[in-house]
Amino acid sequence: MKTILVTGSSSGFGREVSVMLAKRGWQVFASMRDTAKQDRLRELADRVGAPQSALEVVPLDVASEASRAEAARHVLDATGGRLTAVLHNAGYTTTGFFEDLPTEVYRHVLETNLVGVMDLTQRVLPALRADGSARIGVVSSNAVNVPHPMFSVYAATKWALEGWCEALAIEVRPFGVDVVVFQPGNHDTGFGGATVPVLPPSSAYRGFAERALPKLTGLGRYSRGSYKASLRICDVLDRPRPPLRTRLGADDVVASWLAKFTPYSLRRRMVERLTGLGG
């Protein structure tokens, strides 16, 4: 039986992928920080006919070293020290200008989105190597293609993750472990609603924020449903030799093309016009 640890399973891609893989016959360890939300996972499983026995909810706060250690220990004990895949889906961001962000705020984003991913991977890598045909899946972002003002720390974590994945892929491939990066565009996963706004009353950027925030919020109307993207994530995890990078959504495909073939100055002007941050 294929086994997988999925982080951030209480909503969005994490919840859908957990249920889809359980329906395909995987044993899924669906981890989440707030296990009170597991009922939504169970409801979705019932609705699509995924066996409840194939889903085990595991408490995991990816920003906590102790929680990561305990979750990894539990999963490795349950799988007998062998694991087919880990999907790093958990993550969040702040909405605010970098100068306004307290140190503890951006440290927590870094711990959740980057350090937690690395640490958890290191803890389960022996089990992935033991499988001989395993996957390390990482959900990245279109933020590596398009400048994301007011999301600078989030963008930093995703750039760092992609660089880490490219190097890690070479290190673990001889052991039959493939690294796969999923780069989603704008999808209706509830991610935007979970952002943490930071705008102090004395901020020098208040006028810019008042112009930009309504425009950024309005982008939500262009989001796509997440079902097809979640299905593709499952298909890639099931492939014998998956590609390093999978783009999810037409907007990510277009943005990645622009990032490759157009200068930063042009992409900057596009974002400035879109957000009203051009001065």
Dump pLDDT digits (tens) for 49-73. 999 899 999 999 999 999 999 999 9
Residue 194 has pLDDT above 70, yes or no: no
Alpha-carbon distance 220 to 68, whole Å? 32
Q: Give mean pLDDT, residues 255-265.
A: 94
pLDDT band at 210 (very low <50, low <70, confident <90, very high): confident
Q: Give mean pLDDT, residues 72-96.
A: 95
Residue-level pLDDT at 46 = 93
Environment class of 159 (CB within 10 Å of its CB; exposed 0-12, middle 13-18, buried 19+): middle
Q: Give mean pLDDT, residues 85-91.
A: 96
Q: Give mean pLDDT, residues 66-84.
A: 97
Q: What percent of the chain has pLDDT over 70?
A: 94
Alpha-carbon distance 89 to 244, whole Å? 16
pLDDT band at 179 (very low <50, low <70, confident <90, very high): very high
pLDDT band at 145 (very low <50, low <70, confident <90, very high): very high
Q: Give mean pLDDT, residues 28-48.
A: 92
Exactly one of 154, 205, 222, 264 is catalytic; name it.
Answer: 154
pLDDT band at 36 (very low <50, low <70, confident <90, very high): confident
Alpha-carbon distance 87 to 234, whole Å? 10
Alpha-carbon distance 112 to 93, whole Å? 9
Residue-level pLDDT at 191 = 55
154 catalytic per annotation: yes
Q: Residue 197 forms beta bridges with which residues?
A: 95
Range of the domain at 256: 3-275
Residue 221 has pLDDT above 60, yes or no: no
Q: Which of 250, 254, 244, 255 is nearest to 229 (CA)?
A: 250
- The DSSP output letter for 224 is B
Residue-level pLDDT at 279 = 62
Residue-level pLDDT at 219 = 61
Q: Which of 186, 86, 181, 84 is nearest to 138 (CA)?
A: 181
pTM exceeds 0.75, yes or no: yes
Alpha-carbon distance 55 to 81, whole Å? 18
42-45: which pairs have CB atoms within 8 A and are 24 or more residues apart? 44/15, 44/16, 44/19, 45/19
Mean pLDDT in the chain? Answer: 92
pLDDT band at 218 (very low <50, low <70, confident <90, very high): low
Q: Is the dihedral of CA 232, 25, 28, 79 positive or negative?
A: negative
Tokens 């169970």 appear where? 42
Residue 222 has pLDDT above 60, yes or no: no
Residue-level pLDDT at 225 = 74
- The DSSP output letter for 244 is S
Whole-angstrom CA distances from 216 to 65, 67, 191, 272, 277 are: 33, 34, 13, 12, 11
Residue 211 has pLDDT above 80, yes or no: yes
pLDDT band at 195 (very low <50, low <70, confident <90, very high): confident
If phi > 0 it is left, if psi is from -120 to 50 it is alpha, else beta; for residue 133 that is beta
Alpha-carbon distance 8 to 275, whole Å? 29
Q: Indicate the number of domains in the chain.
A: 1
CATH code of residue 199: 3.40.50.720
Tokens matching residue 75: 């999963």
Q: Give mean pLDDT, residues 83-111.
A: 95
Residue 138's H or E segment, with its range, is strand 134-139
Alpha-carbon distance 220 to 210, whole Å? 17
Q: Which of 119, 133, 128, 138 is nearest to 76 (CA)?
A: 128
